[in-house]
Amino acid sequence: MASLTSILPKIAPTLGLTPGALYERQRNLVRMRLLPTPKGRGRGSGAEATPENVALLLIAVLASDNQSDVEGVQRLAFASYIDKRRNRCSLTGKQNFRDAMAHLLSHDDAASHAYIEVSRLEPCAVIFFPTAFVRGIRDLEKISHFGHSVEWSHSRFRVTSHLPNPALQDMRRALTTEI
């Protein structure tokens, strides 16, 4: 399997960052102990390009522009699925945001239309799954909430980052060509 470092040049343009900036995020994730510590030097010594590791890198980018925001990245990555009736996302089957993101990166059916919105003020995220048109009327989107239960539509001030579907598809393609 390819290393996470080796796919950075493929995903950097989609995120509007340089491979060097993504590499610094990767190094911070290693310092946070969210990614494995490199053993030695050279190929194969660091984190592999798995859906879980790419999801962590994406979460680090979505969570904050501040690369040293260790707590915010950790809290967002492991934010639990929110639903009073279930303990896991009905659309991905996952219990936390990192695992749901990894699912989107590794399953074409789930990622085919999904897009993501992350609050930078609270450790919370929403995955939107647009549904098909039914009888000529567009059905409401299916939504999965992770983190604090915040009613975003009533907030007076919001700072969010978005991962639109085409960017999510680019990430998935970069991953699948390397696996």
Tell me the domain boundaries of the chain.
Answer: 4-178
Most confident range, picked from 80-84, 95-99, 155-159: 95-99
Confidence of residue 136 (pLDDT cuts 50, 70, 90): very low
For 44, list phi and psi in degrees, rounded to 5: 75, 10
Confidence of residue 61 (pLDDT cuts 50, 70, 90): very high
Is residue 67 pLDDT above 70, yes or no? yes
* Other beta carbons less than 10 A from residue 117's beta carbon: 18
Structure tokens at 174: 């970069």
Distance of CA 64 to the CA centre of its chain: 13
What is the predicted pLDDT for the residue at 66? 81
For 163, list phi and psi in degrees, rounded to 5: -120, 95
What is the predicted pLDDT for the residue at 89? 87
pLDDT in tens, 1-28: 788 999 999 999 999 999 999 999 999 9
Where does 120-163 show beta strands of DSSP type E? 124-129, 133-134, 137-138, 142-147, 160-163
Is residue 137 pLDDT above 80, yes or no? no
Where does the chain show beta strands of DSSP type E? 81-82, 115-119, 124-129, 133-134, 137-138, 142-147, 160-163
For 144, list phi and psi in degrees, rounded to 5: -115, 125
What is the predicted pLDDT for the residue at 83? 82
Is residue 59 pLDDT above 60, yes or no? yes
In angstroms, rounded to a whole number, what is the distance separating the alpha carbons of residues 169 and 115? 10
Percent of all residues in the chain with a pLDDT value above 90, rounded to a whole number: 44
